[in-house]
């Protein structure tokens, strides 16, 4: 990072047709009440220039997918520490598929045992970030893996 941009730089970096901001939804599925990690990631991604929607604690898969649909997010980050990921993640992934939202990049974070990671990756969640992951790594991962555009051509929901 070279130097801090001024506000007018930001305005110029974002002319009306230069496109878009990466939109991210950070959600806490399930019943654990620990959202410090989710909030740190929310702030960190904001500081990386993304628009981050934080929906708070105790989210059902239905709530998460509905919010992602209405907000037309490019990325969903799921933070979970309760151990219920094996139940909740597949339901979220399936609901996304049902809604034609397979092109949304999903990553997970929190406390997830290493032996569960291959299965999670197998169901289409693109990364599992445990404790110690830097915000820079998370932001870079998103930039490198996010769908190229929210235009119509890029949408998998088209022509359903």
Q: Which is nearer to another protein, 56 or 113 (CB)?
A: 56
Site map (CB under 8 A) of another protein, residues 138-157, x = contact: -----------xxxxx-x-x
35 near another protein, rule: CB under 8 A? no
Taking the CA atoms of residue 35, residue 94, residue 76 and residue 99 in that order, the dihedral angle to the nearest 10 degrees is -130
CB of 19 vs another protein, minimal distance in Å: 6
Give φ, ψ of 56 to 5 degrees: 85, -170
DSSP 51: E
Residue 45: name the closest of 68, 59, 26 by CA.
26
In the list 33, 56, 113, 130, the residue contacting another protein (rule: CB under 8 A) is 56
53 binds another protein (CB under 8 A): yes
Of 75, 77, 79, 97, the C-alpha closest to 29 is 79
Distance CA 93, CA 61 (A): 9
The only residue of 34, 63, 83, 116 in contact with another protein, by rule CB under 8 A: 63
The answer to whether the CB of 142 falls within 8 A of the CB of 24 is yes
Q: Please tell me whether residue 16 binds another protein under the rule CB under 8 A.
A: yes
Instruction: Tell me how far apart the alpha carbons of residues 135 and 93 are, in angstroms, rounded to a whole number.
Output: 24
Show the site string, 96-135: x = touches another protein by CB under 8 A, - = not.
---xxx----------------------------------
Range in contact with another protein (rule: CB under 8 A) among 93-101, 108-116, 117-125, 140-148: 93-101
What is the rounded CA–CA span in Å between residue 157 and residue 160? 6
Contacting residues toward another protein, per CB under 8 A: 4-5, 7, 10-17, 19-21, 42-43, 45-56, 59, 62-63, 66-67, 69-72, 99-101, 149-153, 155, 157-159
């Amino acid at each position: 990072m070279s130097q801090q941009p001024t506000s007018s730089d930001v305005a110029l970096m974002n002319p009306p047709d230069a496109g878009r901001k990466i939109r991210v939804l950070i959600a806490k599925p399930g019943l654990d009440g620990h959202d410090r990690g989710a909030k740190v990631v929310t702030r960190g991604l904001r500081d990386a220039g993304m628009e981050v929607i934080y929906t708070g604690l105790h989210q059902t898969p239905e709530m998460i997918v509905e919010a992602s649909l209405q907000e037309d997010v490019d990325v969903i980050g799921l933070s979970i520490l309760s151990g219920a990921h094996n139940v909740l993640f597949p339901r979220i992934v399936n609901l996304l598929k049902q809604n034609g939202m397979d092109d949304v990049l999903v990553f997970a974070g929190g406390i997830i045992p290493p032996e569960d990671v291959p299965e999670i990756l197998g169901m289409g969640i693109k990364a599992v970030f445990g404790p110690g992951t830097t915000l820079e790594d998370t932001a870079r991962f998103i930039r490198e893996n996010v769908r190229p555009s929210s235009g119509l051509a890029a949408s998998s929901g088209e022509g359903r």
